[in-house]
């Protein structure tokens, strides 16, 4: 196998962590309608069952840094694949084995741990094996996999649900929806054993010959030797310094910049649209229940298409230009949606606003945040710094997911001025902040090696 095919293969395998991220996030949306009736859940408990995985995501992201340093990126991903499989199996346990909602929540949290670990290690691993000129494109495989996972699980749950009667869905259909995740999680686990360890992690551990062998297999001998020298030089400079102080001004400022950028991805409102899309289409936009499924398919399709656009353009026009273009598009989309809702002129323009927002996010903050986080941190702090940034992102995800329905139902939002449009103007304000923050603090990293990016922070 030539080096290009090998690189694409191991990138695709690693990106399956993103597919499981999307799959696990989406499967609860398909199953919750039936399990809510089966367990006769009240609104608060239903919210806890649906959102409990986010707690695991947060803990998993925090733990992923030390875990990645200790056992490496590859073995961390293997652990995440095992956690995905345990979660899928346990969440679908048949009724004769359990009637406990608490046990379901327990297994959902385990799945969240897997997502948290994978969401840090998968893009970081891809960044550490990718050539500088293709790194943006290859890291966006991860975002593409998330989108594909969300789309595939939507089709899977729809197929399972439509092939059974309502009584069968209430009794065991939703369990089969959870079990369907065992297929991709088992594939991910098996395939990971054919993936090499990260060369930069091997250098950090002093396993230089093994690291050079991996680099040679990926990049060829001449380029591998050159990159090896750059990595060793970077590590020598860092090891001459006093033991890393994460609270020092230089290190702490980089972590804060990465964490804020990561948080702003959630404050665009993307997960409000993805998690509550059906409610938005039915309640805010006035579509009938028979139309909601069509709108969701359209939303998923637009998300997928524009993720491909990002993959093609991220290494050609750069990270920052994509953020600017996407932010302007997201702003236009949400302003269009917000104004039509506020003016109570809901219709085609409202739907168009949602689709413009989704396409613009898929073009920019969706993939670009993962690319920038995976490459912006110096070698010696990358694991810990990225785990903090990803944990902050999951915290933001939880905050938006919990606050969106509260703001939507508030008296302020439903007065005669806002008419239900307030959340979209709040998100619009954060999108403006994204433009300003990116301009001021995010360096352009297109075409630079990870070691060259380190030097940018010293300027």
Provide the 8-state DSSP code for 378. Answer: -
Tokens standing for residue 37: 């009736």
Query: From CA 373, how far away is CA 278, in angstroms rounded?
Result: 31
Provide the 8-state DSSP code for 442. Answer: P
> What pLDDT, on a 0 to 100 scale, did the predictor assign at position 401?
79
User: Treating both helix axes as pointing N-terminal to C-terminal, what angle do 135-163 and 365-376 enclose, rounded to 10 degrees?
Assistant: 130
**How far does Cα 156 stand from its chain's mean position?**
20
Provide the 8-state DSSP code for 133. Answer: G
Residue found by looking up tokens 């919990």 in the block: 402
**What three-state secondary structure class fits 226?**
helix
> What pLDDT, on a 0 to 100 scale, did the predictor assign at position 169?
85
Say if CB 184 and CB 23 are below 8 A apart. Answer: yes
For the chain, domains (ranges, CATH) are: 1-195 (1.20.1250.20), 243-459 (1.20.1250.20)
| Tens of pLDDT, residue by residue, the chain (459 residues) | 688 889 999 999 999 999 998 888 778 777 877 888 888 887 678 778 877 888 899 999 999 999 999 999 999 999 999 999 999 999 988 875 667 788 889 999 999 999 999 999 999 999 999 988 889 999 999 999 998 998 888 788 878 888 888 888 888 888 999 999 999 999 999 999 999 999 999 998 999 999 999 999 988 888 889 889 888 887 775 555 546 677 777 789 999 999 999 999 999 999 888 766 666 666 666 665 556 556 667 788 898 899 999 999 999 999 999 999 999 999 999 999 999 999 988 888 888 899 999 999 999 999 999 999 999 998 888 889 999 999 999 999 888 877 888 888 889 999 999 999 999 999 999 999 999 999 999 999 898 888 888 887 766
148-179 burial, b if ≥16 CB within 10 A, otherwise e? bbbbbbbebbeebbeebeeeebbebbbbbbbb
Residue found by looking up tokens 């499981």 in the block: 20
Best CA proximity match to 353, nearest among 279, 345, 434, 308: 345
Tokens standing for residue 364: 């920019």
Tokens standing for residue 99: 């009637």
């Amino acid at each position: 196998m030539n080096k290009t095919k090998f690189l694409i293969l191991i990138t695709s395998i690693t990106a399956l962590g993103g597919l499981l991220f999307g799959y696990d996030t989406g499967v609860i949306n398909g199953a919750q309608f039936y399990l809510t009736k089966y367990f006769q859940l009240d609104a608060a408990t239903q919210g806890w069952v649906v959102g409990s995985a986010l707690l695991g995501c947060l803990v998993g992201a925090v733990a992923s840094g030390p875990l990645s340093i200790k056992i490496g990126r590859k073995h961390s991903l293997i652990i995440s694949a095992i956690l995905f499989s345990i979660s899928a199996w346990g969440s679908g346990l048949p009724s004769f084995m359990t009637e406990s909602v608490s046990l379901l929540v327990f297994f959902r949290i385990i799945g969240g741990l897997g997502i948290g670990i994978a969401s840090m290690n998968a893009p970081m691993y891809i960044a550490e094996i990718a050539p500088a000129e293709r790194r943006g494109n290859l890291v966006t495989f991860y975002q593409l996999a998330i989108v594909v996972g969300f789309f595939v699980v939507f089709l899977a749950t729809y197929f399972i649900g439509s092939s059974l009667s309502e009584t069968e869905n209430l009794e065991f259909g939703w369990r089969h929806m959870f079990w369907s995740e065992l297929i991709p999680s088992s594939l991910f686990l098996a395939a990971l054993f054919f993936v090499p360890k990260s060369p930069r992690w091997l250098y950090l551990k002093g396993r230089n010959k093994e690291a050079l062998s991996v680099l040679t297999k990926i990049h060829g001998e001449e380029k591998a030797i050159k990159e090896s020298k750059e990595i060793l030089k970077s590590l020598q400079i860092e090891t001459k310094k006093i033991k890393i102080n994460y609270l020092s001004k230089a290190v702490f400022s980089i972590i804060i910049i990465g964490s804020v950028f990561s948080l702003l991805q959630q404050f665009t409102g993307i997960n409000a649209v993805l998690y509550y899309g059906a409610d938005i289409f039915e309640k805010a936009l006035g579509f009938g229940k028979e139309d909601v499924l069509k709108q969701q398919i359209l939303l998923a399709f637009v998300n997928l298409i524009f993720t491909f656009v990002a993959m093609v353009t991220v290494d050609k026009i750069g990270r920052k230009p994509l953020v600017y273009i996407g932010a302007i598009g997201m702003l236009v989309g949400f302003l269009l949606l917000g104004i039509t809702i506020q003016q109570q002129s809901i219709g085609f323009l409202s739907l168009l606003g949602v689709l413009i927002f989704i396409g613009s996010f898929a073009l920019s903050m969706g993939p670009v945040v993962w690319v920038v986080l995976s490459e912006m941190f110096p070698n010696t702090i990358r694991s810990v710094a990225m785990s903090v940034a990803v944990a902050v992102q999951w915290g933001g995800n939880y905050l938006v997911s919990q606050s969106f329905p509260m703001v939507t139902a508030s008296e302020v939002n439903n007065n005669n001025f806002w008419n239900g449009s307030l959340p979209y103007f709040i998100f619009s304000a954060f999108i403006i902040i994204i433009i300003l923050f990116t301009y001021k603090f995010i360096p352009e990293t297109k075409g630079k090696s990870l070691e060259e990016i380190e030097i940018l922070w010293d300027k």
